Structure 1
Amino acid sequence: MWVSFFGVVLIAWSALFAMAVTSPLAGVPSDLWSALCGGAIDAGLGTLFAMWLIMSAAMMMPTFVPTLRVFLDLGHAGAARPVEALALVLGYVAIWVAGSLLGTVAQRFLAGLNLVAADGSSLSLWLTAALLLGAGLYQFTSAKAACLAKCRMPLTYFLENWSPGLRRSLRMGLHLGAYCLGCCWALMALAFVGGTMNLIWMGAATLFMVLEKLPEIGKPLTLPAGVLLLASSGLVTVMALTS
């Protein structure tokens, strides 16, 4: 299970790295690869959607590791079967497939307004300020806190919602994916600040989201991150006013 799980993560990050250095992978048509590497603005929605799927898999699957580990520990105690763990992961992934679709539509919409470049990075200081402001404010909301509570305490969630069976495991995966999306969507939207093909941003964001979901480490990070994002938004606003 773990080999397969981390194999997908490794493949996703390898693809992102290859896209970032614009080196085609064997067997991938050069025109498709160019579209993926360039943010796929001039390509179809399907190509852009593929890029978002790869990015979501690389960034969000590592944040699910603590939850999956708890589920597998319950399986070792005889409460679940390996196939139910697979159903849990599929439910979680399904939510991020939907999240990737939202990201695709958002990028195409912003590109149509000439607010983001081909690589997904913001062309407008006002858009950058708004994204930073929204992400910063969301760090202080009850919705963020509620979603983080579920992500940080997966054992509590399982004890409250547990019942055997593939359908129930899939449903729990969907629920946990929704909580994860609710926790991370504003941070993921900052892709339009750093660029959807910016490896530095993706690596830093992934590390922060992984740490934020850890109870002992994450609690001291959430509010200071919000303050930092709000301060950054203020700085960018000043730059926009004086430019």
Structure 2
Amino acid sequence: MAAAIILLSWLGFALLPQHGASHTEAPAAEHMQGMHHPGMAPMATPVVHQPVLWIAIVSWIVMTVAMMGPATLPAIEYVGRQGRGGAVAVYAVVWLAIWSVVGVVISFVQPRLSHLDKWWLFAGLLLAAALWQFSSAKRLALRDCHCPTQFPMPVLKGALRFGAFSGAACVGSCWAMMLAMALAPAAHLVWMVPLTVAVTYERFAQRPAVAVRLVGAFLALAAAGVGVFAALQ
């Protein structure tokens, strides 16, 4: 069931308009900037158009399930062994709610970055993600992903607490890569594949410390490549 939802998330993300996660500006905003006339007070430019904002949030949720879903399958199986489907549903809702909060914040912050060159911004985010890979905070978060706390009882309350713990650890481990993915200027599906592989590899690696460094090196190379591309534009 969980695997099918993940596959449907990939298909759904591909069909979403413009992969809305990185398109939250109002379509008319740039035109309104040119409507100022002498003697008129400057017109306020809307930062986020409400329907587009909702597309961005929905895109983020679908992208999160597609990218992070494979890495969270062991936790879902663990919860399933402790209780019935209701426990899994509670876990999934709490886990996704934590990631949704992150998505809402990104959806509101992204328009404030519209004055920056998108490719240079993307390169900087990939570099930040690479540096995060070598931080102690990253190692601790990934450790929590690999070593979940003992499942508390009763089952539904335990699923809620475990979902919060797992979601927080997941965000702490992967927020930088997800932020870079959310603000990728183009070729979203092309970037999703290697980043999903990186996240999943870290989660299932027998030697997480080595996996973290390899993913960090990959992100640094990707940042360099995007930087070269941005310089040539």
Decide: shared fold, TM above 0.5: yes
2:71: which partner in 1? 63
1:46: which partner in 2? 54
2:80: which partner in 1? 72
In structure 2, the CA distance between the partners of 1:7 and 1:185, relative to structure 1 (3 Å rule), is same
One-letter identity of the residue aligned with 2:95: Y
In structure 2, the CA distance between the partners of 1:241 and 1:58, relative to structure 1 (3 Å rule), is closer
2:168: which partner in 1? 178
Alignment of structure 1 residues 216-235 onto 2, 5 Å: 216=206, 218-233=208-223
- Judge conservation of contact 2:22–2:185 (CA < 8 Å) in 1: no
One-letter identity of the residue aligned with 1:210: T
Deviation at 1:38, TM superposition (A): 7.9
In structure 2, the CA distance between the partners of 1:197 and 1:227, relative to structure 1 (3 Å rule), is closer
One-letter identity of the residue aligned with 1:89: A
Report Cα offsets for 1:148-196 as digits up to 9, x if no partner. Answer: 0111223xx2x2x522232231121011101101100011122256447
One-letter identity of the residue aligned with 2:215: A
Between the two proteins, the alignment pairs up a number of residues equal to: 209
Q: d(CA) in 2 for partners of 1:240 and 1:186? A: 20
1:149: which partner in 2? 143
Deviation at 1:94, TM superposition (A): 0.9
> Once the two structures are aligned, what percentage of the paired residues are identical?
26
The reply to whether residue 198 of structure 1 matches residue 182 of structure 2 is no
Q: d(CA) in 1 for partners of 2:79 and 2:70? A: 15
* Range with bigger deviation, 200-209 or 80-89: 80-89
One-letter identity of the residue aligned with 1:151: C
Deviation at 1:91, TM superposition (A): 1.2
2:41: which partner in 1? none
Q: d(CA) in 1 for partners of 2:158 and 2:11? A: 33
The reply to whether residue 6 of structure 1 matches residue 3 of structure 2 is yes
DSSP 3-state at the match of 1:216: coil
2:131: which partner in 1? 137
In structure 2, the CA distance between the partners of 1:14 and 1:132, relative to structure 1 (3 Å rule), is closer
Deviation at 1:144, TM superposition (A): 0.5
Report Cα offsets for 1:51-85 as digits up to 9, x if no partner. Answer: 22221122122221011112223x3xxxx333122
Match of 1:189 among 179, 182, 202: 179
Q: What value does the CA root-mean-square deviation take over the aligned residues?
A: 2.9
In structure 2, the CA distance between the partners of 1:36 and 1:242, relative to structure 1 (3 Å rule), is closer
Match of 2:122 among 111, 128, 133: 128
In structure 2, the CA distance between the partners of 1:53 and 1:232, relative to structure 1 (3 Å rule), is closer
Report Cα offsets for 1:102-122 as digits up to 9, x if no partner. Answer: 2212322222x254xxxxxx2
- Unpaired runs of 5+ in structure 1? 20-32, 116-121
Deviation at 1:242, TM superposition (A): 9.1
